[in-house]
């Protein structure tokens, strides 16, 4: 079985989209793949409840309990490795990972970022797109490398920036596309594993 481990920090809507797609498209039968665990750095992350309701094992590892980023990432890697992952998906996991963690899962560590990379890496992407006068914004699924939001692009979706958009209205429209392209990108990867 190709195990998928999903890392979240909050509500987990992208994780839920992937789980639902895996169920609807019978990924276990088609690709020999399953979401094996959902791990959060926050015990109150809303997505953990959804995962538990789906019968998916959940784990919590509080980054605040570690003296350094490296110590947290080492423990996180040990936790992830318990599930023997074919893919590790970042779905709103709000931590910058160390180069050692990224190297450990090279080629199988995937992230979703709410901009059309390479534009607007980092935070506040929607407001930055509006402030720059962009006519289009969007979302990118990419492989994670040691450089933030720069890895090879796997999929993208374009969303128009409307004249009366705020960061929140644009984010809401982009989010609907996130829920489409993240499962699609994962499905494409599973077909190559």
Task: Give the model confidence (pLDDT) of 146-169 as tens digits.
Answer: 998 999 999 999 999 999 999 999
pLDDT at residue 34, rounded to an integer: 98
Per CATH, which fold does 2-190 belong to?
Rossmann fold (3.40.50)
Tell me the average pLDDT across 54-59.
98
**Which two three-digit tokens encode residue 103?**
């190297």
What's residue 122's pLDDT?
93
List the chain domain ranges. 2-190
Residue 113 appears among annotated catalytic residues = yes
Nearest to 124 by CA among 147, 155, 143, 149: 149
pLDDT of residue 94: 92
182 confidence band (pLDDT: 50, 70, 90): very high
- 159: CB partners within 8 A, 6+ apart: 136, 137, 138, 139, 170, 173, 174, 177
Average pLDDT, the chain: 97
Residues with Cβ within 8 Å of residue 97, at least 6 apart in sequence = 73, 109, 144
Q: Indicate the pLDDT class of residue 36, thresholds 50, 70 and 90.
A: very high
CA distances from 95 to 72, 113, 156, 165 (A): 10, 13, 22, 28
Q: Are 178 and 17 in contact (CB under 8 A)?
A: yes
The predicted structure's pLDDT at residue 174:
98
pLDDT digits (tens, 9 = 90+) for 72-123: 999 999 999 999 999 999 999 999 999 999 999 999 999 999 999 999 999 9
Q: What was the pLDDT predicted at 112?
A: 97
Q: Which of 63, 113, 126, 179 is catalytic?
A: 113
Tell me the pLDDT tens digit for each residue of 21-34. Answer: 999 999 999 999 99
Percent above pLDDT 90 for the chain: 99
């Amino acid at each position: 079985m190709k195990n998928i481990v999903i890392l979240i920090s909050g509500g987990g809507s992208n994780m839920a989209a992937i789980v639902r797609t895996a169920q609807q498209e019978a990924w276990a039968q088609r690709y020999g793949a399953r979401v094996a665990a959902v791990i959060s750095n926050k015990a109150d992350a809303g997505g953990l409840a959804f995962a538990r309701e789906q019968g998916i094992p959940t784990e919590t590892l509080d980054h605040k309990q570690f003296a350094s980023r490296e110590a947290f990432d080492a423990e996180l890697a040990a936790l992830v490795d318990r599930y023997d992952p074919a893919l590790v998906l970042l779905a709103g996991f709000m931590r910058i990972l160390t180069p050692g963690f990224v190297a450990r899962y090279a080629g199988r560590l995937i992230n979703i970022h709410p901009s059309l990379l390479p534009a607007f890496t980092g935070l506040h992407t929607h407001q930055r797109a509006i402030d720059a006068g962009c006519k289009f914004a969007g979302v990118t699924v990419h492989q994670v490398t040691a450089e933030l939001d720069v890895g090879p692009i796997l999929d993208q979706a374009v969303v128009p920036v409307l004249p009366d958009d705020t960061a929140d209205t644009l984010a809401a429209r982009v989010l609907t596309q996130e829920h489409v392209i993240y499962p699609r990108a994962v499905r494409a990867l599973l077909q190559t594993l």
